[in-house]
Structure 1
Amino acid sequence: MKEFHYTIRDELGLHARPASLLVKKAGELSSRIVVVKKGRKVDARRLFGVMSLGIRCGDAIKFKLEGPKEEEEAELLKRFCENTF
């Protein structure tokens, strides 16, 4: 399992548009991806799950990836986050 933390910098947080981009990106990867905020865990491929976390600007979230390509996909997802929100 590969994990990394990311702090949201987008002023509006992870609202509908960036959340849908995250879900789309997670769907493109082969690893199982979980988003964690304050102990709550959701599948990164589920839009309503991601939005239910209420992620705001400045919130730290954790991504957990599990799969045969978890190392490289974690790096891809981290770069995606940095460039998107």
Structure 2
Amino acid sequence: MQEKRLVIQNKAGLHARPAALFVQTANKFESQIRVAKEDREVDGKSIMGIMMLAAGKGTQIRITAQGEDEKEALERLEKLIDNKFGEE
């Protein structure tokens, strides 16, 4: 299992479009992906779960991946967040 702590950087946070991009990216991998904000943890492959986190700009999230492609999954998700979901 691998884990990364990242900060949401795009202006609108994890609203519908970035949440959809996150889930689409997560679903490309076999690994189980979980996302946590404070004490709430959700399935990283569920758009409803990701949106329920209500992670706004500046929010720290923790992403964990477990499986054969966990390293690549985390790298891809980190790049997506660092690139502000292509919004800016």
- Cα deviation code 1:8-46 (max 9, x no counterpart): 111111100000000110111111000000021100111
Q: CA RMSD in A?
A: 1.2
Match of 2:30 in 1: 30
Paired AA for residue 12 in structure 1: A
Distance 2:29 2:81 in 1: 14
- Scaled by the length of structure 2, the TM-score of the pair is 0.89
Alignment of 1:1-85 (within 5 A): 1-83=1-83, 84=85
Shift of residue 73, structure 1, vs aligned partner: 2.2
Unaligned runs of 5+ in 1: none
Aligned length: 85
Unaligned runs of 5+ in 2: none
Paired AA for residue 76 in structure 1: R
Shift of residue 80, structure 1, vs aligned partner: 2.1
Name which of structure 1's ranges 71-80 and 33-42 shifts more when overlaid on structure 2. 71-80
- Scaled by the length of structure 1, the TM-score of the pair is 0.92
Paired AA for residue 35 in structure 2: V
What fraction of aligned residue pairs are identical, expressed as a percent?
36
Name which of structure 1's ranges 73-82 and 18-27 shifts more when overlaid on structure 2. 73-82
SS class of match (1:13): coil
